[in-house]
Amino acid sequence: MTESIRRSGEYENFENPYQAQSSAPVNPEWPPPPAYQPVPQQPVQQQVQQPVVEPTAVWQTQAAAGGSGHGNGNDGGTALLTAEPAPAKKKRARGPLALLAAVAIVAAAIGGGTAYGIQELTGKDEVVSSSTTTSVVPSSKTGDVASIAAAVSPSVVEVSATLSNGTSTGSGVIITSGGEIVTNNHVISGANSIKVTTSDGKSYTAKVVGTDSKKDLALIKLENASGLKAATLGDSDGVKVGDTVVAIGSPEGLTGTVTSGIVSALNRDVTVSTDESQGQGQGQGQQGGDGSWPFQFGGQEFNGDTGSSTTTYKALQTDASLNPGNSGGALIDASGNIIGINSAMYSAATDSSSSSDAGSVGLGFAIPINTVKADLAGLRAGGSDS
């Protein structure tokens, strides 16, 4: 026989699994059938107006909370959405790259002063200088006398003037590559001819362009000169007592002599002679003269008689060793900039007829370079003595 024989009631639960069978076994994988007709759920009004909820929302069910009532038909495991207030969004902090980029944009717009800002932001000591001050020597060599001397010596020359009663030797500072040189008026005063020797030993003839005896300044110009190394003129208004300085000149004809010291005082009143006849006897290290340079300060005369016609100027005082022949030479700051023209020195010599006892005792004076710069236009035009 082809049909199978089944026992009565063997597949009743399979054919109608939701029919109540009190004696049928219950499959634990199937949920129990509802004991009542499910009531259609009413739409929840709050869900229509529910705002967008951040992921911090918490889903809760009454079933999970233990609720099993059959009150309004919304029970029995219906999910309820409970939104916790989302925390305010925090402003995203800008990273250092974005901040530096902003600084760079501002730097391009406003220029100087940004290096310090970048240093503060990065915490690094790398500072790119934006100042107009020139550093003649590398920043790592600032204050190094050897480096300063090597950089500036080519710009300092020896000046020899032939006088009616002998010769006068002093120094000068090259300020243009074409051969303009600043020196002291008393070095070339009354000169019949002037010869200049550069640091490499070359000799040139020079002529006087202009003089200013009231400031003890003179401008001379080399003939047939080009390609010379001009000195960098600094800012004497920024000089402070205690600053390191270097002096370069030709004391007693010793070309390129270098000494060093500090700035001892500012704004010293130095009085010098303006008489041309007196100037012929004031040359430093001269032959046939008295070999001393007279000047006054503090109400006293030094190194001879200044005569009846004098002028007074403000000077930088230094303890860098100066000797006869340094007049007109360079006083240099720690970065290699010219901050003064050496003009006078105190000597312990008591006999003005001999220069053998004249020597530096740590009291030297220089005309501030800002005074020189302010006088340049007048000197190029012939000076106040013309």
Segment 56-107, tens digit of pLDDT: 444 444 444 444 444 444 444 444 444 455 555 555 555 555 554 554 444 4
Mode of pairing for the β-strands spanning 180-183 and 257-273: unpaired
Looking at the predicted structure, is the pLDDT value of residue 329 above 50?
yes
Which residues share a beta bridge with 170? 159
Instruction: Pick 39 or 201 by higher pLDDT.
Output: 201
Q: Which of 327, 343, 355, 360 is catalytic?
A: 327
SS3 257: strand
The two structure tokens encoding residue 268: 């010293």
Question: Which residue, 255, 251, 283, is CA-closest to 198?
Answer: 255
Q: pLDDT (tens digit, 9 = 90+) per residue, 100-155?
A: 455 444 444 444 333 334 333 344 333 332 334 567 999 999 999 999 999 999 99
Q: Please give the pLDDT value at position 273.
A: 77
* Residue 84 parent element (H or E): none
Mean pLDDT lowest among 58-72, 296-310, 317-331, 342-356 = 58-72
Q: Does 216 participate in catalysis according to the annotation?
A: yes
The pTM assigned to this predicted structure is 0.62
Instruction: Pick 165 or 247 by higher pLDDT.
Output: 247
Q: Please give the pLDDT value at position 285.
A: 47
Largest alpha-carbon pair distance within the chain? 162
Q: Which of 153, 168, 216, 292 is catalytic?
A: 216
Q: Does 70 participate in catalysis according to the annotation?
A: no
Q: Please give the pLDDT value at position 268.
A: 93
Looking at the predicted structure, is the pLDDT value of residue 198 above 80?
yes
Q: Which of 186, 250, 290, 355 is catalytic?
A: 186
Q: Please give the pLDDT value at position 93.
A: 52
CA of residue 76 relative to chain centroid, distance: 78
Using CA atoms, how far residue 136 sits from 75, 157, 336, 343, in Å, is 90, 18, 5, 23
Q: Does 327 participate in catalysis according to the annotation?
A: yes
Q: Please give the pLDDT value at position 170.
A: 95
Mean pLDDT over residues 295-321, rounded?
80
